[in-house]
Homo-oligomer: A and B are copies of this chain.
Amino acid sequence: MENNQSLYQHGTLAALVPGLFAGTLTVNELLKHGDTGIGTMDGLNGELIILNGVVYQATASGEVVKVDGDAKVPFANVHFVHLEESTPIANLTYLELKDVATKRLKSQNLFSYLSVHGTFSSMKTRVVHGQQPPYPTLTETASQQEIFDAANVTGTLTGYYSPALYAGVTSPGFHLHFLSDTHEMGGHVLDCQLTDGELAIQPLNQLQLHLPDENSEFLKADLDDEAVLSDIKKAEN
């Protein structure tokens, strides 16, 4: 049964910090819980953008490819999209856009989905390279990420707002990915300049968190370290 107020999450951001990058849920299973979302693939290989039930992977080579249903994710968020209204917005930096969106949240204590479809005079994304076991830590992957820049690109900025209370479980604040309408450019958004677009927000009053309880490395990992939260701040900027 579809529940369009529930944010489904597989895995935790905290588990990625020490390098638990092995995929633990199939894409087919993930899609049972939503048609829209973001995430990453086995080995932290690329940045996922899920739109209309299709899973796109922005890869470090610069390509965007569709993902096979049998492939596995270590960490992803999905929900069933239901946008009641959208608001025209224009001429905003990334910080200004997030500020406008924050003011339109139903509450900073709820999760929310954010979508901005529009034209961006500039879009800067990062895409992490796929890692091989033994995996490095999340912060170590940052030195191996690729940066992509596009000018005058039309597409969808998509992702979630999480209250600060859930830092470590997930990424606090806005965690946004981008996919161009041509499916040629995408990734985790580092910066952008919006020319004009439509902003829509869907409040989500439930978090359904599924933990990888069949992964022995997850079961035995020490994820309570103070360093975990500190590393999340470094890695998610």
Contacts and interface: CB of A to CB of B under 8 A. Distances in A.
Interface of A: 5, 12, 14-15, 106-111, 163-166, 168-169, 203, 205-211, 213, 218-221, 223-224, 228
Given A205-B211, A209-B207, A218 B107 contact: yes
Given A165-B168, A165-B169, A224-B164, A109 B218 contact: yes
Copies of this chain, how many? 2
A219 B109 CA distance: 6
Contacts of A211: 109-111, 205-207
Contacts of A218: 107, 109
Contact of A166 (B106, B163, B169): B169
A213 B165 contact: no
Nearest to A203: B213
Nearest to A106: B219
A206 B12 CA distance: 12
A228 B221 CA distance: 27
Nearest to A168: B165
Given A206-B208, A207-B207, A208-B206, A213 B166 contact: no
A106 B210 CA distance: 16
A211 B162 CA distance: 13
A223 B111 CA distance: 13
A20 to B, nearest CB: 10
A80 to B, nearest CB: 16
